[in-house]
Amino acid sequence: MLTRRSGILLHPSSLPGRYGIGELGPAAEEWLEFLAAAEQSVWQLLPLNPVGAEGCPYQSPATLAGSPLYVSVDRLRDDGLLDAADLGAEPELPGERVDYPGALAVKRRLLARAHAAFTPTADYRAFCRDQAGWLDDYARFMVLRDRHGGPWTRWPGPLARRDPAALARLDESAADDLDRYRFEQYLFARHFGAVRARAAALGVELIGDIAMFPGVDSVETWSRPDLFDLDADGRPVAVAGFPPDEFSHEGQVWGNALYRWDRMAADDFAWWVARVRRMTEWYDMVRLDHFRGFLRYWAVPVPGRAGDGSWRDGPGLALFQRLRKDLGDVTLLAEDLGPASAEVQHLRVDAGIPGMRLVQFAFGGDENQHLPHHHPVDCVAYPGTHDNDTTLGWWAERSADERSRVERYLGGIADGICWSMARAVFGSVAYLAVLPVQDLLELGSEARLNVPGRTDGNWTWRLPPRALSPGLEFRLRRLTETYGRDRRAASRRPSGFTG
C-alpha cells in the first residue's frame, strides 16, 4: 500500500565537510535529523558507486562497489585508525564546491594510512567472505588499473583475458594492495550502514539510484564480457546514447556499455538479480534510471554519431518478473521521463512500478501529464530533478507568456516561485513528493547539479554552511503537514493504491 509521504533530493557529495566532498559521517546524520524534524520520511540519493575526477555518478567503473570518497574521516579518527598527525598533514580543501581531484588524492592517502593501522577482525573477514562474489574482482580490477592504466583492453593479454594462472599470480604478488581495496569497501559498508541505521531510527527511508548501463571500462565488462556488446578483444561494438530530438538536435552519445540481453535472459537475468539485490542492502527504495531502456534503447555504433544509431529491444516485462520472483517485494521506482510512450507506461504499470512527474515540464498544454491534476497516485512528483535547472533558474528563463500560464495555474506566486511550485508538488495526489534541496533553499542556476551533455563543471554543488535553519525546518514541516504528507498523517491515511 502506497501512502502519502515526502522527502528531499540531496546527493551526499553535496554535504559540507573539510576534505573536498561530503561524507557518510556526522554531516549526513545532521542532515537526517533535519529531515526528521521537518517531517520528511524520504532521503533521495544519486548512485554512490566509485567515480573519477569528473565526478559523474552515472559513469562508474564498478556498479556494486561504494565510492571510497564517501568514507568518513571523522569515523576513522573515532575508530583509532587515524590520529591528529594524519589529519594535520592534509590540506583543508575549499568547501564551496566539490574538488574531485583533491578529494581523491586526500582520501587515497588517508585510507592508505588507515589500512596500515588496521588489524583484520572477524567482522572484516566475514565481510570479505560474504561479498567475495563481486569484491575480489573489484579489488583485482582496481589494482590492475593502478598498475597498467586503462582501458582494460590494453592490459597485458593474460590479465585482460582473465587467465586463471595470471590472476593467481596477481593475487599473490599484490596481496596487500588487493586487501586495501577490500578494506575501503568494508569501511564504506560500515559507514553507510551507520547512516542507514540512523535513518531507520528517525523514520527516514533512503531512495537510491541504479544507472542503466555500466561504463565500458569497468569491472563488469572485464569480469563478464560475454554479457555485453563487445568484440573478441573486449572493445564495444556499440554504446548507449539517445537519438536526436527537440532537446538535442544532434542526439547524445553516452558511451556506456550495452547489454547482450539474449545472454542475460538465458541465465534468468542472474546478473541483474545480483545487482538489484546488492542495492537493496543499501536502500529502502531503488530508482531505475532510464527506465525506457528496459523496453527499447538506442545503440550507437562505434565509431559513429548519435544519429547513426538504431533502436534495439530491451528485456521488457520478463526481467521484472524474474526480479519479483527472486527478490520478493522490493520497492522499485521508474525514471520514465522523456517523450511520451504508451508502451513504456504499459511496461511500468505491468511491472507494478511507480513512475515520475516533473512540474517544470507541465506547462506545454492542458493535457500535459506533468500537470499536478493529471498525476496518478502511483508516481513520484518533483518540481525538477538533478538533471534540470533549479526552479529559480528555470523561472528566470521563462518568457512572459510562460510565466503568465504558470502563475495562473499556481494561483499566483506570492510565496516565490520555489515554494509555490513546492505547494503544487506536495498538493498532488502522487504518493511521494520530492524536492531538490536547491529548491528548498531557493537557489538559482549557480546551484544546478548537472547539465546533461556538459563534460565539466557538473556534480560539484555543495550545501552552504548553516543553510538548514530552524526557520526552514518549520516552513517545510508546515507545508508537509498541510498536504497530509507528514508521517503521522501517512500512517493514518493510505493513498488507496496497492502496489
Q: Which candidate in 335, 389, 473, 486 is catalytic?
A: 335
Residue 471 falls inside a structural domain? yes
Q: How far is CA 152 from CA 173, 213, 261, 280, in A?
A: 19, 18, 23, 29
Q: How far is CA 268 from CA 265, 289, 317, 333, in A?
A: 5, 21, 13, 22
> Residue 206 is which amino acid?
L
Grouping H, G, I as helix, E, B as strand and the rest as coil, residue 286 is: strand
Lowest mean pLDDT among 367-371, 431-435, 454-458: 454-458
Cα separation, 78 vs 74, in Å, equals: 6
Residue 148 falls inside a structural domain? no
Give the model confidence (pLDDT) of 191-220 as tens digits.
999 999 999 999 999 999 999 999 999 999
Cα separation, 375 vs 271, in Å, equals: 34
Lowest mean pLDDT among 95-99, 187-191, 202-206, 421-425: 95-99
Give the model confidence (pLDDT) of 40-61 as tens digits.
999 999 999 999 888 999 989 9
Q: What is the mean pLDDT of residues 251-274?
A: 97
- Torsion over CA: 53, 56, 58, 64 (sign): positive
Confidence of residue 498 (pLDDT cuts 50, 70, 90): very low
Q: What is the pLDDT of residue 407?
A: 98
Strands (E), 263-362: 285-288, 296-301, 310-313, 331-334, 355-358
- Is 217 catalytic? The answer is no
Q: What is the pLDDT of residue 431?
A: 98
Q: What is the pLDDT of residue 491?
A: 61
Which residue is it, cell 564480457?
225
Q: Which candidate in 23, 220, 289, 486 is catalytic?
A: 289
| Domain residue limits at 362 | 2-67+188-497
Give the model confidence (pLDDT) of 443-494 as tens digits.
999 999 999 878 889 999 999 989 999 999 999 999 999 999 998 775 654 4
* Mean pLDDT, all residues of the chain: 95
Residue 155 falls inside a structural domain? no
Q: What is the mean pLDDT of residues 382-395?
A: 98
Cα separation, 123 vs 223, in Å, equals: 27
Confidence of residue 248 (pLDDT cuts 50, 70, 90): confident
Q: What is the pLDDT of residue 90?
A: 93
Q: What is the mean pLDDT of residues 230-243?
A: 97
Greater confidence (377 vs 53) lies with: 377
Give the model confidence (pLDDT) of 334-363 as tens digits.
999 987 689 999 999 999 999 999 999 999
Flag whether pLDDT at 247 surpasses 80. Answer: no
Residue 160 falls inside a structural domain? no
Q: Residue 287: beta bridge partners? A: 209, 333
Residue 78 falls inside a structural domain? no
- Is 387 catalytic? The answer is yes
At a CB cut-off of 8 Å and minimum separation 6, what does 467 contact? 441
Between 122-130 and 132-148, two packed helices, what is the crossing angle to 10 degrees?
A: 90
Q: How far is CA 490 from the centre of its chain?
A: 26
Residue 137 falls inside a structural domain? no
| Environment class of 492 (CB within 10 Å of its CB; exposed 0-12, middle 13-18, buried 19+) | exposed
Domain count, the chain: 1
How many distinct helices (H) and strands (E) make up the chain?
Answer: 20, 14
**282: domain CATH number?**
3.20.20.80
Q: What is the pLDDT of residue 494?
A: 43
* Cis amide linkage into residue 303, ω under 30° from 0: yes
Q: What is the pLDDT of residue 62?
A: 98
Residue 115 falls inside a structural domain? no
Q: What is the pLDDT of residue 308?
A: 97
Q: Which candidate in 54, 136, 308, 387 is catalytic?
A: 387
Percent of the chain with pLDDT over 70: 97
At a CB cut-off of 8 Å and minimum separation 6, what does 24 contact? 12, 70, 71, 72, 75, 188, 191, 192, 194, 195
Taking residue 426's Cβ as centre, other Cβ atoms within 10 Å add up to 22
- Is 74 catalytic? The answer is no
How much is the CA Rg of the chain, to the nearest whole Å? Answer: 23
For the record, the C-alpha cell of 444 comes out as 538559482
Residue 171 falls inside a structural domain? no
